[in-house]
């Protein structure tokens, strides 16, 4: 199967995320062009795009999908109806869009941060949540979210003050509550990158002093230490369990008592930190070509 058109999917940048993936996107786009692939940037919710002309859609940075989740799901439906191949696959992307996927992983033996689910239309009771989580501080965030949007780090007294605001938000969408993991602030958050299920590279993200958000648009910093073997082994287990055949995957977790506890499994629009490791761009390309080749064989 000869690939005629490839869409490298991005979003309309309105400054919300400080262009965090622009450099990585540009370098990847240029590499794929240099390799002779017929690739073009396309904005996922641009109504002028004729998606039927594309043989392959690569999800790279649809960063605002969670702000427009119904439109995003409708777009995925349209691609499926048009029989356009998407990487990562549409079924996987739908599953990963809602953080309830953590429940699935937990049933498969993956260690995740303890979670209380706050369903849309219900109310948040601070005392009950703190009691259930046995925590001195909690994190509350939407079940469909990214970039630390509407994310709160709260003590019991702060949670009582925020109850009304959180309950207003709960009328619109579901949230989850988790214990505040101190190790995120003290040790940082690990990100393990995989292409076609094979390990590529690792970064350690650290929050700025006094903050808990490790994203670099909130002042977080990125480091590239050699990851402990036990943590990498756990990350590989997560991939082998649910994302072995994904073009790209990022396992985000924190080290607690020598073990990796999963924070997020990113299969939609993760920043891939390709510039932090020599050969990472090439490994992405090789994984993509393997996907294209395998698909061609399956169609033969």
Q: What does the pLDDT profile of the chain (300 residues) look like in tens digits? A: 578 899 999 999 766 555 557 899 999 999 999 999 999 999 999 999 999 999 999 999 999 999 999 999 999 999 999 999 999 999 999 999 999 999 999 999 999 999 999 999 999 999 999 999 999 999 999 999 877 778 999 999 999 999 999 999 999 999 999 999 989 888 999 999 999 999 999 999 987 665 555 555 555 689 999 999 999 999 999 999 999 999 999 999 999 999 999 999 999 999 999 999 999 999 999 999 999 987 654 544
Handedness of CA 61, 277, 225, 208 (dihedral sign): negative
Domain made up of 6-97+280-299: CATH architecture: 3-Layer(aba) Sandwich (3.40)
Fold of the domain built from segment(s) 116-180: Dna Ligase; domain 1 (3.30.1490)
- Provide the pLDDT for residue 266: 97
Estimate to the nearest angstrom the gap between the alpha carbon of 11 and the chain centroid.
15
- Provide the pLDDT for residue 209: 61
CA proximity to 187, closest of 115, 261, 96, 131: 261
Fold of the domain built from segment(s) 183-273: D-amino Acid Aminotransferase; Chain A, domain 1 (3.30.470)
Retrieve residue 269's tokens.
Answer: 């629009």
For the chain, which residues make up each domain, given as ranges?
A: 6-97+280-299, 116-180, 183-273
């Amino acid at each position: 199967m000869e690939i005629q058109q490839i869409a490298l999917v991005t979003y309309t940048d309105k400054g919300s995320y400080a262009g965090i993936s622009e450099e990585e996107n540009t370098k990847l786009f240029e590499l794929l062009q240099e390799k002779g692939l017929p690739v073009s940037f396309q904005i996922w919710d641009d109504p002028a795009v004729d998606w039927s002309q594309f043989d392959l859609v690569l999800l790279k940075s649809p960063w605002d999908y969670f702000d427009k989740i119904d439109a995003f799901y409708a777009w995925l439906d349209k691609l499926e109806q048009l029989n356009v191949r998407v990487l990562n696959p549409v079924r996987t992307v739908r599953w990963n869009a809602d953080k309830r996927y953590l429940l699935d992983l937990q049933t498969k033996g993956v260690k995740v941060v303890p979670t209380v689910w706050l369903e849309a239309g219900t109310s948040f009771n601070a005392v009950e949540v703190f009691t259930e989580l046995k925590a001195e501080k909690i994190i509350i965030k939407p079940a469909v979210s990214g970039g630390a949007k509407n994310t709160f780090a709260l003590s019991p007294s702060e949670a009582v003050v925020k109850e009304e605001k959180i309950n207003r938000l709960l009328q619109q969408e579901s949230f989850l509550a988790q214990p505040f993991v101190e190790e995120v602030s003290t040790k940082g958050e690990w990100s393990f990158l995989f292409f076609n299920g094979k390990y590529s590279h690792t970064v350690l993200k650290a929050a700025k002093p006094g903050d808990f958000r490790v994203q670099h648009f909130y002042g977080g910093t990125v480091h590239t230490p050699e990851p402990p073997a036990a943590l990498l082994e756990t990350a590989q287990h997560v991939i082998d369990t649910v994302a072995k055949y994904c073009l790209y995957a990022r396992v985000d977790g924190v080290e607690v008592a020598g073990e990796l506890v999963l924070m997020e499994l990113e299969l939609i629009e993760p920043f891939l930190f390709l510039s932090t490791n020599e050969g990472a761009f090439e490994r992405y390309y090789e994984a993509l070509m393997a996907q294209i080749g395998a698909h061609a064989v399956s169609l033969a």
